[in-house]
Amino acid sequence: MVVADYASSGATSCGDHFDFTNSTLIGDGLENTQRIIEENFNDNSMVGNGFEFGSDAYAFKIVSDLEYRNYDDWLIPSSGAMKAIFDNLHSQGIGGFDETVYH
């Protein structure tokens, strides 16, 4: 598994259909990401192209479509995976994550 801080995407919404009851289990990030994209598309199906406010510029879709550092299978991790990333990498100073972009 590769983890990257892709903060260069800037501030963006999660999408207008975002369910905080998604699975928290490590390994469920891909399924959560795909489900949220599908729900956003279905929720906006009356919009010309079915995307969030007429576009696909929201976090889960940006990450799903991302091609970065020779990878194209990016996802938003589940909260359980994020905790593991924090506990095992970030808290030890590994990964170079920039917390200032979230403040």
* Residue 18 near residue 43, CB atoms below 8 Å: no
Alpha carbon 46 to chain centroid, angstroms:
24
d(CA 93, CA 74): 22
Residue 6 is assigned to a structural domain of this protein: no
9-13 contact pairs (CB < 8 A, 24+): 9/59, 9/62, 12/57, 12/58, 12/59, 12/62, 13/52, 13/58, 13/59
Percent of the chain with pLDDT over 70: 60
The model's confidence at residue 6, banded by pLDDT at 50, 70 and 90, is: low
Domain that holds residue 82: 30-94
Residue 19 is assigned to a structural domain of this protein: no
* Residue 48 near residue 56, CB atoms below 8 Å: no
Residue 25 is assigned to a structural domain of this protein: no
What is the number of structural domains in the chain? 1
Region 1-16 average pLDDT: 62
pLDDT digits (tens, 9 = 90+) for 48-82: 666 655 567 778 888 899 898 898 998 888 889 98
User: What's the pLDDT score for residue 92?
Assistant: 84
Residue 45 is assigned to a structural domain of this protein: yes
Residue 37 is assigned to a structural domain of this protein: yes
Residue 20 is assigned to a structural domain of this protein: no
* Residue 40 near residue 52, CB atoms below 8 Å: yes
Residue 1 is assigned to a structural domain of this protein: no
The model's confidence at residue 88, banded by pLDDT at 50, 70 and 90, is: confident
- The mean predicted confidence, pLDDT, of the chain is 76
